[in-house]
Amino acid sequence: MVAVYRHDVHKARSRSHEHAAEMFRGVRVNESVPRSADADAALLSRPRGEPERTVDAHQSWFRLSLLTGEVTASEAVDDIDAALHELIRCDDATALHEAWLNATVPAVFSESPYYPYTSLKFHTLLVAALLDNYRAGFEFEELFLAVTPRGATPAIVPNRTVLSMPEFTLHVTGDPAGRPAVRLGDVPVRLFADTWARLPEFPFDVDASRRWRVLDAQLRRIRSWSSALQFIEEFVEAFEPGSNSQNRRGAAESRGGRRE
Secondary structure class of 100 (helix, strand, coil): helix
Domain spans of the chain, in order of start: 2-259
- Measured CA to CA, the distance from residue 28 to residue 149 in angstroms comes to 39
- Measured CA to CA, the distance from residue 86 to residue 88 in angstroms comes to 6
Which of 83, 45, 99 has the alpha carbon at shortest distance from 229?
45
- Measured CA to CA, the distance from residue 101 to residue 113 in angstroms comes to 23
Query: 49 burial class (0-12, 13-18, 19+ CB within 10 angstroms)?
Result: exposed
pLDDT of 72-98, one tens digit each?
Answer: 876 566 789 999 999 999 999 999 999
Residue 29 has pLDDT above 70, yes or no: yes
Residue 15 has pLDDT above 70, yes or no: yes
Q: What is the pTM of this model?
A: 0.91
Residue 255 has pLDDT above 60, yes or no: no
Instruction: Return phi, psi of residue 72, to 5°.
Output: -65, 140
